Amino acid sequence: MRKNIIAGNWKMNKTLQEGLELAKGLEAALKDRSYACGIIIGTPFIHLASLPAVIDTKKIAVAAQNCADKESGAYTGEVSAAMVKSTGAEYVILGHSERRSYYGETFEVLKEKTLLALKNGLKPIFCIGEVKAEREANKQNEVVKAQLEGSVFNLPAEEFSKLVIAYEPVWAIGTGLTATPEQAQEIHAYIRSLIADKYGKEVADNTTILYGGSCNAQNAKGLFVNPDIDGGLIGGASLKVEDFVAIIDAIG
């Protein structure tokens, strides 16, 4: 059966020193607790190589927030999937709405990034979700369907099975507006049905689908009790140990 996961996305926050302190603080806070979910921190590239020396990455797995759509070579400023993997990172967040909207990442680019991540042994946390106008026009289902079909439904089932899907309604990211548990459950169930149509029920049942967007200690439990919500991708609340731990406690 699928795994519950709480993943933090630090975005462009924390210097190297601050980030290592945050990671160590998280490990210390979790030390005497029992929890059944997977825990991941998605850090800037700068932190990745230093983290395995300060935390046990078997207990707190590490994710990059991006990787290049090219294998290697003359691409100044880019970081390849192979480089990410060589740090000990296990995951890579791909398709975040901030990358799609601010950096123009297209379905095609994300398809390439996903293929390279998988080729290099990274597990993509693939983000999908609609903007406010699309939700208001009741187009959220067609938006997430197109995002999946455009970038990851080309994968064979064996490769798709390595993905974690994160549904993040763009209107809920960093806004304090959260999808209601009913809205989130409804679209998570729809996403799972799309996966079932494409890859069959077993793959769909085994796919972890995270919710992201202003998830916090107060609203986490109400979201996570739903059958198709398998944890969260947490932005702002992952930057403080106590807030992140409270969300981990909410899923248990």
User: Counting contacts by CB under 6 A, is residue 96 touching ligand 13P?
Assistant: yes
- Contact status: 129 vs ligand 13P (CB under 6 A): no
Q: How far is the CB of 96 from ligand 13P (least distance, A)?
A: 6
| Contact flag: residue 105 with ligand 13P (CB under 6 A) | no
Instruction: Name the minimum Å distance from CB 156 to ligand 13P.
Output: 27
Cβ proximity to ligand 13P: between 96 and 111 the closer is 96
Q: In which residue are the tokens 């090219």 written?
A: 70
x-or-dash string of contact with ligand 13P, 156-195, rule CB under 6 A: ------------x----xx---------------------
Please spell the DSSP secondary structure of 181-235, one letter per residue: HHHHHHHHHHHHHHHHHHH-HHHHHH--EEEESS--TTTHHHHHTSTT--EEEES
Find tokens 């709480």 and name the residue.
Answer: 6
Which one, 38 or 236, has the nearer CB to ligand 13P? 236
Stretch that binds ligand 13P, among 23-31, 84-92, 136-144, 206-214 (CB under 6 A): 206-214
- Tell me which H or E stretch contains 91: strand 91-94
130 catalytic? Reply is: no
Q: Candidates 57, 66, 87, 214: give the one binding ligand 13P (CB under 6 A).
A: 214
Of the candidate spans 13-21, 99-107, 116-124, 230-238, the one that interacts with ligand 13P by CB under 6 A turns out to be 230-238
Could you tell me the two tokens for 190? 């729809």
DSSP for 103-129? Answer: S---HHHHHHHHHHHHHTTPEEEEEE-
Q: Which of 27, 98, 105, 168 is catalytic?
A: 168
As a whole number of angstroms, the distance between CA 195 and CA 176 comes to: 29
Burial 233-244 (b: 16+ CB within 10 A, else e): bbbbbbbebebb
User: Which CB sits closer to ligand 13P, 7 or 84?
Assistant: 7
| Active site (annotated) includes residue 47 | no
**Angle at CA 98, nearest 5°, toward 151 and 106?**
30
DSSP 116-168: HHHHTTPEEEEEE---HHHHHTT-HHHHHHHHHHHHTTTS-HHHHTT-EEEE-
> What's the CA gap between 226 and 185, in Å, rounded?
6
Q: Could you say which of 27, 47, 90, 96 is catalytic?
A: 96
Binding ligand 13P (rule: CB under 6 A), the pick from 5, 6, 9, 220 is 9
Task: Determine which helix (DSSP H) or strand (DSSP E) holds 61, and give its type and residue range.
Answer: strand 61-64
Nearer to ligand 13P, 187 or 199 (CB): 187
CB-wise, 96 or 135, nearer to ligand 13P?
Answer: 96
Q: Which residues are catalytic?
A: 96, 168
Residues making contact with ligand 13P (CB under 6 A): 9, 96, 168, 173-174, 212-215, 233-237
